[in-house]
Amino acid sequence: MNKSENTQLVKKIAKDLAFDFCGISKVEFLAEEAPRLEKWLKENKHGQMAYMENYFDKRLNPALLVDGAKSVVSLLYNYYPSQTQRSDAPKISKYAYGTDYHEVIKNKLQDFIFRLQEKIGAFNVRAFVDSAPVMDKVWAKKSGLGWIGKNTNLINKDQGSFFFIAELILDLELECDGPIKDYCGTCSKCIDACPTQAIVAPYIVDGSKCISYLTIELKESIPNEFQGKMDHWVFGCDVCQDVCPWNRFSKTHHEPLFNNNRGLLEMTDTEWHEIKLDTFNQLFKHSAVKRTKYLGLKRNLEFLKLRSN
């Protein structure tokens, strides 16, 4: 099969596996991102996420992750829900309502690779879902799936930003898709709405101030300076996406595993604050919320109580 046929096959498999968007870019060193990443790290905007300092070269060059890498296939998988939590309950990010996306998408990517190799034969490839030193939003942008907004999320012109991003890095030469322009314009809704002012400038987020960082990545006590600023979030935060005008085009996801069937969305404020370890383990057994662990969730819930005391 030639380059064009391989490209068409990749796009077809992506569609067959229900990925919402698929784009392809050429493997190259990310020269434009290198100084930005270095500056961001030097200014400690990654907080205690020490892993962000690791594998600096690999983050900027996929050829160091896969021998002979020629192409990056970027994939978007929608997680926008049809229902949200009760308005009086502590809030968790929409992406965590159902089964952990790592489990769901990794299985799809393995199926993707199997189908591709069944048609083409053996080739070098690795699959990534937010779990390795890959600048997924940059590659998605380069492949034309959207632009990186002022909140640093990838925004798709057709359906907004409520997507998981995944990649296949492979040693096949494929036809590339070109990037699209930035459509944020003069809008500053995400910057204005951020409860902790974590978006310190357009396209720059101070991760150490982000509610997602404070409720998930931070392992110590949440600093007192954030009292009264958490906007009732206890796992992640969707504010900068919820206010983004492009998300008026969001469509309900098509993945049954992302639906919550354990009563999570109906939990009251009291039920959240009285949650016990066994309930936590049952409710979040296959959920991304397990990342914060029981004690982390209780810490976040207690921090909300401080606001009202």
Q: Give the pLDDT score at 160.
A: 98
What pLDDT, in 10s, does the model give residues 116-152?
A: 999 999 999 999 998 778 999 999 999 999 999 999 9
Q: Give the pLDDT score at 260.
A: 79
Find the angle CA(23)-CA(29)-CA(35) to the nearest 5 degrees. Answer: 110
Q: What is the largest CA-CA distance in the chain?
A: 67
> Across the chain, how many H-helices and E-strands are there?
11, 10
Among 74, 71, 66, 65, which Cα is nearest to 28's?
71
Q: At a CB cut-off of 8 Å and minimum separation 6, what does 58 contact?
A: 64, 65, 133
With beta carbons less than 8 A apart as the criterion, state whether 97 and 70 touch.
no
Q: Give the pLDDT score at 61.
A: 93
Dihedral sign (CA 50, 76, 57, 209): negative
With beta carbons less than 8 A apart as the criterion, state whether 108 and 132 touch.
no
Q: Examine the pLDDT at 308 and tell me if it is beyond 60.
A: no
What pLDDT, in 10s, does the model give residues 146-190?
A: 999 999 999 999 999 999 999 999 999 999 998 999 999 999 999
In whole angstroms, give the CA distance from residue 60 to residue 37.
9
Q: Give the pLDDT score at 51.
A: 66
With beta carbons less than 8 A apart as the criterion, state whether 90 and 270 touch.
no
Confidence of residue 37 (pLDDT cuts 50, 70, 90): confident
Q: Give the pLDDT score at 1.
A: 73
Q: What is the average pLDDT across 26-48? A: 85
Q: Where are the beta strands (DSSP E) in the chain?
A: 21-26, 71-78, 91-92, 125-128, 147-148, 154-155, 163-170, 199-201, 204-205, 233-235
Coil, helix or strand at residue 211? helix
Q: Where are the beta strands (DSSP E) in 17-103?
A: 21-26, 71-78, 91-92
Q: What is the average pLDDT across 40-61? A: 77
Task: Quote the pTM value.
Answer: 0.94
Q: Give the pLDDT score at 66.
A: 94
First to last CA, the chain: 67
Confidence of residue 309 (pLDDT cuts 50, 70, 90): very low
What pLDDT, in 10s, does the model give residues 201-256?
A: 999 999 999 999 999 999 999 999 999 999 999 999 999 999 999 999 999 999 99
Which stretch of DSSP H or E encloses residue 251?
A: none
Q: Cα dist. 63→78, 127, 134 in Å? A: 28, 14, 11
In whole angstroms, give the CA distance from residue 151 to residue 154.
9
Q: Examine the pLDDT at 50 and tell me if it is beyond 80.
A: no
Question: Domain residues of the chain, as ranges?
Answer: 3-86+94-170, 189-308
What value does the mean pLDDT of the chain take?
A: 93
Query: Is 182 among the residues known to form the active site?
Result: no
Q: Examine the pLDDT at 257 and tell me if it is beyond 60.
A: yes
Q: Give the pLDDT score at 263.
A: 87
Which of the pair, 36 or 47, is modelled with greater confidence? 36
What pLDDT, in 10s, does the model give residues 186-210?
A: 999 999 999 999 999 999 999 999 9
Select which of 57, 67, 88, 130 is catalytic: 130
